Amino acid sequence: MRRIDWSKLDADGRRAALARPQRRTEGFVTGVVRDIFDDVQARGGAAVNDWARKLDGAAPRRIAVTEAAAAQARRDLPPAAARALRVAADNIRVFHEATRPVDSPFVETTPGVKSRLVWRPIGSAGIYVPGGTAPLFSSLLMQAVPAGVAGVARRVAVTPPAKDGSVHPAMIAAAAEAGLEELWLLGGAQAVAALTFGVELDDGVIAPVDKLFGPGNAYVAEAKRYASALPGGPTADMPAGPSELLVIADRDADFEIVAADLLSQAEHDADAQVILVSDSGTALTEILAEVERQVETLPRAEIARASLAEARAVRVRDMAEACEVADLYGPEHLSIQAEDAEALVSRITAAGAVFVGGWAAETLGDYAAGPSHVLPTDGAARTLGGITTASFMTTMSVQTVSEKGAAALAPVAAALARMEGLEAHARAADLRSAG
């Protein structure tokens, strides 16, 4: 991790200090994604098959999530693991049911003119579940469960197969907990292209979806962005690329815990980024030493070290400046391990999820606390939030007008329409006021 003294940097230096890894935005990623999309649009399922064999190492495969398949998957898991999946699914469901948007009451802005907002589920959702180096079945729960709570009629989940073409039983068990009927073993930009255009494959049909969801590597993140820019293409939830964690720690933080939290994100992949911010030079030194001690024993030490090469340890004047650094970075995950951590939350305006105090491990949020762990990355937290039930819904305004209301409001609307030179608008209003 590179140490930085914030007070010695100018504005450009500060932006550079908090820059994301360059690999995330390298031009060849866009080129590869465009090639895959062009091919899938032209050749359909045949192209998806070819790219899947080349990049996933196996042809796409549909897993039917039947009661029998779910029961077998649970038997293949240690009993404690199967119970943990159920607890996580239940907690996620409880949280999203409690926070599901409800229709607003009518608001009468003019006597006889009433309006309200109503919520409706989207028709279909494409759910991308990262895999590859590790099967992230938790991401399936964090998306498919709130989509189900929202009432989405068609949920299509895709995930890369294991290197041998198989699927981890936990993925099938998680799909069953979420109420899915099928799971496609298909990853990368080719999976996003299949969800975008719709394709016919040997195992069945993937119909195009209305909206794309899920985290992924640089190729998946670019594929979602590219798909949403196509004419008539699906929308996308947010930039949700490689993982990020910023930890604010003071001299009273538990240095062992802080180091463990940093490494918990660094081990995701080489493009993950972790940043440590502290007003104590001693804390920085001790935490960095602890990181070195712990990384030695990690099974994914090589990946973690590659991530740490892009990590930063930032010295600030005080906790107020630490919060300013956090907002400038806009992290996916923010952990505050400092005295009066709860008070510092009021200073934060840009973070996907905030974990308050030493007991609030980001890992708990990753798996089982309840809120979805699919969160904005690359600074998008400055304008976007993470996945909620509302992410799978749309709003419509509903307006009802009585004769009395029309008579009162139509002259106002007609006058404004004529000011804009829209005579037909004005006449449509006039007809209501004349009645």
- Residue 2 CB coordination number (10 Å): 11
Structure tokens at 271: 């493009």
Tell me, what's the pLDDT at 269?
85
Tell me, what's the pLDDT at 239?
86
Among residues 96, 168, 268, 333, the one annotated as catalytic is 333
Tell me, what's the pLDDT at 133?
66
Residue with tokens 């990355």: 377
How far, in whole angstroms, is CA 181 from its chain's centroid? 23
Residue with tokens 């943990």: 84
Among residues 244, 324, 332, 362, the one annotated as catalytic is 332
Tell me, what's the pLDDT at 230?
97
pLDDT digit string, tens, across residues 309-335: 989 999 999 999 999 999 999 999 999
User: For the chain, what is the HEC assignment?
Assistant: CEEEEHHHCCHHHHHHHCCCCHHHHCHHHHHHHHHHHHHHHHHCHHHHHHHHHHHHCCCCEEEECCHHHHHHHHHHCCHHHHHHHHHHHHHHHHHHHHCCCCCCCCEEEECCEEEEEEEEECCEEEEECCCCCCCCHHHHHHHHHHHHHHCCCEEEEEECCCCCCCCCHHHHHHHHHCCCCEEEECCHHHHHHHHHHCEEECCEEECCCCEEECCCCHHHHHHHHHHHHCCCCCEECCCCCCCEEEEEECCCCCHHHHHHHHHHHHCCCCCCEEEEEECCHHHHHHHHHHHHHHHCCCCCHHHHHHHHCCCEEEECCCHHHHHHHHHHHCCCEEEEECCCHHHHHCCCCCCCEEEECCCCCHHHHHHCCCCCCCCCCCCHHHCCCCCCHHHHEEEEEEEEECHHHHHHHHHHHHHHHHHCCCHHHHHHHHHHHHC
How far separated are the first and last CA of the chain, in Å rounded?
A: 74
- Residue 363 CB coordination number (10 Å): 15
Identify whether the C-beta of residue 55 lies closer than 8 Å to the C-beta of residue 36.
no
Active site residue 425: no
Active site residue 286: no
Structure tokens at 4: 């930085």
Tell me, what's the pLDDT at 163?
85
Tell me, what's the pLDDT at 362?
92
* Low-confidence residues of the chain: pLDDT under 50: none
Tell me, what's the pLDDT at 26?
67
> C-alpha distances in angstroms, 139 versus 43, 49, 82, 283, 306?
30, 24, 16, 33, 23
d(CA 348, CA 70): 42
Structure tokens at 369: 């606390």
Look at residues 141, 147, 30, 126 and name the one whose alpha carbon lies nearest to residue 84: 141
Tell me, what's the pLDDT at 164?
85
